[in-house]
Amino acid sequence: MRIVLLGAPGSGKGTQAQRLLARFGVPQISTGDLLRSAVGRGTPLGLRAKAAMDAGALVADQIVVGIIRERLGGADAATGYVLDGFPRNLAQAEALAAMLAAIGQPLDAVVLFNVDYAEIARRISGRRTCPNCGTIFNVHDHATPGITHCTKCAAAPALTQRPDDNEQTVTRRLAVYDEQTRPLIEHYRAQGLLRTVDAQGSVDEVTARLISVLTRKPAAARKPARQARPKRPRKAPAKAPVESKARRKSARKKARVERKAAPARKSAPRTTHKARSKGKRKVVRKKPVRKVVRKPARKPARKPVRKRARRR
Q: Which of these is catalytic: 36, 173, 195, 209?
A: 173
Catalytic one of 19, 127, 128, 209: 127
Active site residue 254: no
Residue 173 annotated in active site: yes
**Identified catalytic residue from 2, 48, 50, 162:** 162
Specify whether 226 is catalytic: no
Check 13, 36, 71, 123 and give the catalytic one. Answer: 13
The DSSP annotation for the chain comes to -EEEEEE-TTSSHHHHHHHHHHHH-PPEEEHHHHHHHHHHHT-HHHHHHHHHHHTTPPPPHHHHHHHHHHHHTSGGGSS-EEEES---SHHHHHHHHHHHHHHT----EEEEEE--HHHHHHHHHTEEE-TTT--EEETT-SSSTT--B-SSSTT-PBPB--TT-SHHHHHHHHHHIIIIITHHHHHHHHTT-EEEEE--S-HHHHHHHHHHHHHSPPPPPPPPPPPPPPPPPPPPPPPPPPPPHHHHHHHHHHHHHHHHHSPPPPPPPP--HHHHHTT-----PPPPPPPP-PPPPPPPPPPPPPPPPPP-
**Of the residues 19, 36, 71, 88, which is catalytic?**
88
Q: Is 172 a catalytic residue?
A: no
Q: Is 162 a catalytic residue?
A: yes
Residues with a catalytic annotation lie at 13, 88, 127, 162, 173
